[in-house]
């Protein structure tokens, strides 16, 4: 019988790529998520019955235990960018991660991959970064041989970074950003999946790996590169951190008063994180130690951002037609 991996958050942005790769490796894949009916799309990643979405609530011990029964490996990809209801940074990224590790250890599962984030710091002012660090500590407390992956900002067809700003660029001549000089090292989502598979299959040594792509750029440079890909000219304006902080507090108040029905474009926690560079640390283990050559932004962005061009899929055709007219005249 083939081996079984349970992937918490396996239908999410990163998790679905890991699920697909684990299925290709011949594993049975159990995709543990909150809404399995909305995760049916993972089934074709393997043969009939090989990949199955199942319900799991990482805030509940018994729910976690049920989906881990008979598993050989566990991978945790669950995280939140903006807390909602009971899914807080603390309950999901700190307590939830530790719960998965603890319950897995109790069932005799001693191979675990945990997806964290660059910038995880128990002393951070950011609740996101602080709880990411607490989650790592909780995982290592029960799974000392775990592989922990800390990616920089992740890009790919379903990302919430480039898709978001490319969409914003369609509605005016100005594109506002916060932390224009903050450095990022974007990493391709499938490269993160490749690293996770190496950890899950025992081909990566235990420990922490910081994952960044081949290029380091400022936030402004990344947005300008995106604009070139989608053939749009926009004035990229930096919002000072002081003003951004006040805006975030105002949006937070509106969110609270409307019980989450109205949300703003940025939170106070995100403003805090944007003050700090998001790049691989000096001396940290990374892709080179895993034998992976990361894919660059320029090789992937055009594959999924074309729909934000002024004429979408017909943009290149129109450009070619204009060139023909110029040649004829």
> How confident is residue 255, by pLDDT bands cut at 50, 70 and 90?
confident
Instruction: Answer yes or no: is pLDDT of 322 > 70.
Output: no
**Residue 111 Cα distances to 25, 126, 132, 303, angstroms:** 17, 30, 20, 35
Note the pLDDT of residue 196.
98
Q: Any residues with CB less than 8 A from the CB of 171 and at least 6 apart, and which? A: none
Note the pLDDT of residue 82.
86
Please give the backbone phi and psi of residue 170, each rounded to the nearest 5 degrees, phi first: -80, -10
Calculate mean pLDDT across residues 110-114. 97
What percentage of the chain has pLDDT greater than the value 90? Answer: 87
Task: Give the separation between CA 67 and CA 191, rounded to whole angstroms.
Answer: 26
> How confident is residue 324, by pLDDT bands cut at 50, 70 and 90?
low
Calculate mean pLDDT across residues 88-117. 97
Note the pLDDT of residue 41.
97
> How confident is residue 257, by pLDDT bands cut at 50, 70 and 90?
confident
Mean pLDDT (the chain) is 93
Using alpha carbons only, give the angle 181, 247, 256 rounded to the nearest 5 degrees: 130
Instruction: Answer yes or no: is pLDDT of 24 > 90.
Output: yes
> How confident is residue 252, by pLDDT bands cut at 50, 70 and 90?
confident
Calculate mean pLDDT across residues 71-89. 93
> How confident is residue 321, by pLDDT bands cut at 50, 70 and 90?
low
Instruction: Answer yes or no: is pLDDT of 216 > 60.
Output: yes
Find where tokens 């037609």 sit.
321
> How confident is residue 40, by pLDDT bands cut at 50, 70 and 90?
very high
Using only C-alpha atoms, the chain has a radius of gyration, in whole angstroms, of: 21
Note the pLDDT of residue 256.
80
Buried b (16+ CB within 10 A) or exposed e, 187-220: bbbbbbbbbbbbbbbeebeeebbbbbbbebbbbb
> How confident is residue 323, by pLDDT bands cut at 50, 70 and 90?
low
Note the pLDDT of residue 225.
97
Instruction: Answer yes or no: is pLDDT of 133 > 80.
Output: yes
pTM of the complete model: 0.93
Note the pLDDT of residue 263.
78
Task: Give the separation between CA 186 and CA 168, rounded to whole angstroms.
Answer: 20
CA atoms within 13 A on the CB side of 63: 13
User: What secondary structure, in 3-state letters, does the chain show?
Assistant: CCCEEEEECCCCCCHHHHHHHHHHCCCEEEEEECCHHHCHHHHHHCCCCCEEEEECCCCCHHHHHHHHCCCCEEEECCCCCCCECCECHHHHHHHHHHHHHHHHHHCCCCCEEEECCCCCCCCCCCHHHHHHHHHHHHHHHHCCCCEEEEECCEECCCCCCHHHHHHHHHHCCEEEEECCCCEECCEEHHHHHHHHHHHHCCCCCCEEEEECCCCCEEHHHHHHHHHHHCCCCCEEEEECHHHHHHHHHHHHHHHHHCCCCCCCCCCHHHHHHCCCCECCCCCCCCHHHHCCCCCCCCCCHHHHHHHHCCCHHHHHHHHHHHHHHHHHC
Calculate mean pLDDT across residues 147-163. 97
Give residue-wise pLDDT tens across range 268-310.
Answer: 999 999 999 999 999 999 999 999 999 999 999 999 999 999 9
Domain ranges for the chain? 4-155+186-212+279-294
Look at residues 35, 47, 28, 27 and name the one whose alpha carbon lies nearest to residue 11: 35
Please give the backbone phi and psi of residue 27, each rounded to the nearest 5 degrees, phi first: -80, 150
Task: Give the separation between CA 40 and CA 38, rounded to whole angstroms.
Answer: 6
The CATH class that applies to domain 4-155+186-212+279-294 reads alpha beta
Give residue-wise pLDDT tens across range 158-179.
Answer: 999 999 999 999 999 999 999 9
Instruction: Answer yes or no: is pLDDT of 106 > 90.
Output: yes
Note the pLDDT of residue 317.
62
> How confident is residue 265, by pLDDT bands cut at 50, 70 and 90?
confident
Calculate mean pLDDT across residues 102-110. 97
């Amino acid at each position: 019988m083939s081996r079984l991996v349970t992937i918490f958050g396996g239908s999410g942005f990163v998790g679905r790529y890991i699920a697909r790769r684990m299925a290709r490796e011949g594993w049975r894949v159990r995709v543990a998520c909150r809404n399995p009916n909305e995760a049916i799309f993972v089934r074709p990643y393997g043969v009939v019955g090989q990949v199955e979405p199942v319900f799991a609530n990482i805030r509940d011990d018994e729910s976690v235990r049920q989906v881990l029964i008979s598993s050989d490996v566990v991978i945790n990809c669950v995280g939140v960018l903006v807390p909602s209801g009971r899914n807080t940074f603390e309950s999901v990224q700190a307590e939830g991660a530790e719960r998965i590790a603890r319950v897995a250890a109790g069932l005799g599962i001693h191979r675990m991959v945990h997806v964290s984030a660059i910038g995880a710091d128990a002393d951070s002012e950011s609740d996101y970064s602080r709880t990411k660090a607490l989650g790592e500590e909780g995982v290592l407390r029960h799974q000392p041989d775990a592989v922990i992956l800390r990616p920089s900002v992740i890009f790919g067809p379903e990302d919430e970074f480039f898709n978001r700003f490319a969409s914003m660029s369609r509605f005016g001549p100005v594109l506002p950003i916060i932390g224009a000089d903050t450095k990022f090292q974007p990493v391709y989502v499938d490269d993160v999946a490749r690293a996770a598979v190496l950890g899950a299959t025992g081909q990566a040594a235990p420990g922490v790996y910081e994952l960044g792509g081949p290029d380091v750029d400022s936030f402004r440079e990344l947005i300008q590169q995106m604009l070139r890909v989608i053939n749009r000219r926009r004035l990229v304006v930096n919002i000072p951190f002081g003003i951004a902080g006040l805006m975030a507090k105002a949006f937070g108040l509106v969110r609270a008063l409307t019980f989450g029905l109205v949300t703003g474009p940025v939170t106070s926690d995100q403003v805090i994180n944007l003050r700090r560079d998001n790049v691989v640390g000096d001396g940290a283990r990374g892709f080179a130690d895993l034998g992976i050559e990361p894919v660059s932004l320029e090789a992937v962005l055009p594959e999924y951002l074309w729909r934000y061009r002024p004429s979408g899929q017909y943009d290149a055709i129109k450009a070619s037609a204009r060139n023909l007219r110029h040649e004829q005249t």
